[in-house]
Amino acid sequence: MANATLDLTEFKAAMARFPSGVTVVITRDPNGQSFGFTASAFSSLSLQPPLILVCLDKSAESHPAFRGAGMFTVSILEAGQLDTAMKFATRGADKFAGVPLIDGAVSAMPMIEGAAVHLECRTHEHLEGGDHTIIVGEVLTAASTDREPLVTYNRQFGRFSEAT
């Protein structure tokens, strides 16, 4: 096969064509300050033990807090939480201002109130993934609802629609 130069603009456009749920991931640093980010790069990884993964850009403001964190939470947002997704995706924003939160039962870490799913995780390991850190978490608690998830596709947010 001939060597081809990958066009990064085309790569980004191709990856945007993969529909995904939208999550907010939150931790606290040793001083008790909360940090969070919006992620669509999230997946279940293993049932035994129950593991998930989420990817965080190494240049993110919250990266140092997550590198040192022993626990974190994942809130899979519901369809009406677009404003929350955008706030946690915005560099420099006061991400927690005006956002209703609940505390996890095990970790006491914040989670987004009204989310479709809540997970509390213990950090299992960090893996290098180019310009991202892959955070693997062992799921300690999981709670889900019947709320419709917020999804992203082609750089747009929307709702899930069943195939007909």
The pTM (predicted TM-score) of the whole model is: 0.93
pLDDT at residue 163 is higher than 90: no
By percentage, how much of the chain surpasses pLDDT 90? 80
Q: How confident is the model at residue 3 (pLDDT cuts 50, 70, 90)?
A: low
Does 1 score more than 80 pLDDT? no
CA dihedral for 132, 37, 13, 147, sign (positive or negative) = positive
pLDDT digits (tens, 9 = 90+) for 5-50: 889 999 889 888 888 999 999 999 999 999 999 998 999 999 999 9
Q: Give me the domains of the chain, ranges plus CATH numbers.
A: 20-154 (2.30.110.10)
d(Cα 82, Cα 89) in Å, to the nearest integer? 11
Residue 125 has pLDDT above 60, yes or no: yes
CA distances from 144 to 62, 117, 162 (A): 26, 4, 20
